[in-house]
Amino acid sequence: MNSQQSAHPKQEIGGMVPEISLPLVQGGTGTLQGFLKGKKGLLVVFWSETCSHCLRYDSFLNEFPQRYPELGLVVIACRQGETAEEILATIAQRNLRFPILHDQDSRIARQWHTQQTPRVFLLDANRRLLYRGAIDNYRYPADPDYQAYLRPAIEAFLAGKPIERPETASFGCAVQSVYYQLPKPLARS
């Protein structure tokens, strides 16, 4: 905790999000504008290779470009302490096919008021924030309590309709831990 963390301007639904530029784990640098090129909108996903919740959305994210060709997709690995090598190893192991930006010190996550992964942001072509929150309520689709949050938002946006629920609460794994990391005993194996 430090006081700078709350000093960021409040990000409002309907407002424009500032441009970011981060190293791309797969090589090079990525910007929102770059991923928006030729697209109607962009899905930004705050993500972590450690996070057990993100894991469940691997295939959703892998298949996202086929499902929504009008939309761009970029994932931001934002968990404190994750290295590019670790993320690359995970990409290979889990066959991930989406571009991953590396927000090594969680700076962008803080600016975007993100404490947990996965947390998604849907932007229009002008980087205006349309939807912020969870993909669904993390139930299995067979569960009677299952609720999709992102899908209806995307569908409304693509159909040019107002988004009924532009914000849902996120949940998942924290992007940082208040405890000093249990330094190497486990990280070395």
**What residue type is assigned to position 116 of the chain?**
Q
Using the minimum distance from each CB to other proteins, give the nearer residue, 33 or 52: 52
Q: Using CB under 8 A as the criterion, what x/- string covers residues 71-100 for binding other proteins?
A: --------x---------------------
Q: Find, among 144, 133, 130, the residue nearest to 171 by Cα.
A: 133
Taking the C-alpha atoms of residue 23 and residue 114, their distance in angstroms, rounded to an integer, is 19
Which positions from 32 through 61 interact with other proteins, judged by CB under 8 A?
49-53, 55-56
Q: Which of 28, 144, 160, 162 binds other proteins (CB under 8 A)?
A: 144
**What residue type is assigned to position 170 of the chain?**
S
Using the minimum distance from each CB to other proteins, give the nearer residue, 29 or 52: 52
Using the minimum distance from each CB to other proteins, give the nearer residue, 79 or 127: 79
Output the CA–CA distances (angstroms, integers) from residue 74 to 2, 30, 97, 186, in the order listed: 28, 9, 11, 30
Under the binding rule (CB under 8 A), the answer on residue 143 touching other proteins is: yes
Q: Give the phi and the psi of residue 175 in degrees, each rounded to 5.
A: -80, -15
Q: Does residue 122 contact residue 157 with C-beta atoms inside 8 Å? A: yes
The three-class DSSP label of residue 171 is coil
Binding interface with other proteins (CB under 8 A): 1-3, 5-6, 8, 10-11, 49-53, 55-56, 79, 110, 113, 115-116, 134, 137-140, 142-146, 167, 169-174, 176-189
